[in-house]
């Protein structure tokens, strides 16, 4: 029997997926670098998310590892169930552990997309975010590159990550923004794009919904997720964990919220 999707469903990138997604950034080594210390456990928690709990929105990025998490997702879940959305991100360099550098040159974005297609084992990325706006390159060039990749069929839908309302407006002149992914939680709660996305019918995917575990320590799991989900039906959080027991708690809390 297919489990009920946690917290109901939401329409993202042409699919009805669980409102509660699963973020995969922690499925690496220290500093979001390299392979996880316990690779079988990482594979297990991915399978548990989809096959045990009915989570059908998996969020990752080429920069996680870098590259290692996309390999893990392929190993754990490929061939992907038809109802599962695997979203990835491109446009970030990783000079070393805990180091991140936006790089939005069109040639680099293209190379990232091509590599993610190979690692994930697909002909088209269901949903691909521009991971960051590179301040050294005109945003229009970065948006144009993503639009070109979509027109070529290599990207199905395009999202934006860590952006302002102005970025969303500018990008919308090049393509339909399929989702926005910004940090949002009970501590970091001031983001005007939440209202914009509601008004424009854009799914809003809050990353760091439990504030890297600090909110769980003080409020438990239910209160932070309940706070987010009550902001609107367009909210689809993507908490991350490496522990099956913690994932059980997150899913239970989302189902109660």
Active site residues: 64
Residues 6+ away with beta carbon under 8 Å from 156: 13, 14, 124, 125, 126, 127, 128, 150
Question: In the chain, how long is the greatest CA-to-CA distance?
Answer: 50
The residue among 25, 76, 83, 32 whose CA lies nearest residue 57 is: 83
Distance CA 222, CA 238 (A): 14
- Burial class from Cβ neighbours inside 10 Å (0-12, 13-18, 19+) for residue 235 reads buried
Q: DSSP label at 38?
A: -
178 with 127: CB under 8 angstroms?
Answer: yes
Residues 6+ away with beta carbon under 8 Å from 213: none
The residue among 3, 7, 1 whose CA lies nearest residue 251 is: 7
Residue 194: strand, helix, or coil:
helix
- Burial class from Cβ neighbours inside 10 Å (0-12, 13-18, 19+) for residue 91 reads buried
The residue among 168, 170, 228 whose CA lies nearest residue 197 is: 168
175-197: burial string, b at 16+ Cβ within 10 Å, e else? bebbbbbbebbbeeeebebbebb
């Amino acid at each position: 029997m297919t489990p009920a999707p946690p917290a109901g469903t939401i329409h993202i990138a042409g699919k009805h997926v669980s409102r509660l997604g699963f973020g995969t950034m922690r499925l690496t080594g220290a500093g979001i670098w390299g392979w996880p210390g316990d690779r079988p456990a990482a594979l297990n928690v991915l399978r548990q998310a989809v096959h045990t709990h009915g989570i059908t929105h998996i969020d990752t990025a080429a920069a996680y590892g870098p590259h290692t998490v996309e390999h893990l997702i392929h190993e754990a879940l490929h061939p992907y169930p038809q109802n599962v959305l695997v979203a990835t991100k491109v446009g970030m360099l990783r000079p070393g552990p805990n180091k991140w550098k936006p790089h939005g040159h069109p040639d680099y974005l293209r190379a990232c997309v091509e590599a993610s297609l190979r690692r994930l084992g697909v002909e088209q990325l269901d949903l691909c975010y521009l991971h960051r706006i590179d301040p050294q390159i005109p945003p229009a060039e970065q948006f144009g590159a993503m639009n070109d990749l979509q027109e070529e069929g290599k990207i199905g839908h395009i999202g934006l990550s860590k952006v302002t309302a102005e970025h969303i407006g500018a990008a919308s002149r090049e393509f339909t923004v399929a989702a926005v992914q910004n940090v949002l939680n009970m501590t970091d709660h001031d983001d005007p794009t939440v209202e914009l996305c509601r008004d424009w019918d854009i799914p809003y995917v809050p990353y760091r919904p439990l504030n890297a575990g600090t909110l769980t320590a003080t409020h438990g799991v239910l209160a932070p997720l309940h706070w987010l989900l009550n902001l609107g039906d367009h909210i689809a959080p993507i908490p991350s964990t490496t522990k099956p027991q913690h994932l059980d708690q997150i899913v239970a809390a989302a189902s109660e919220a």
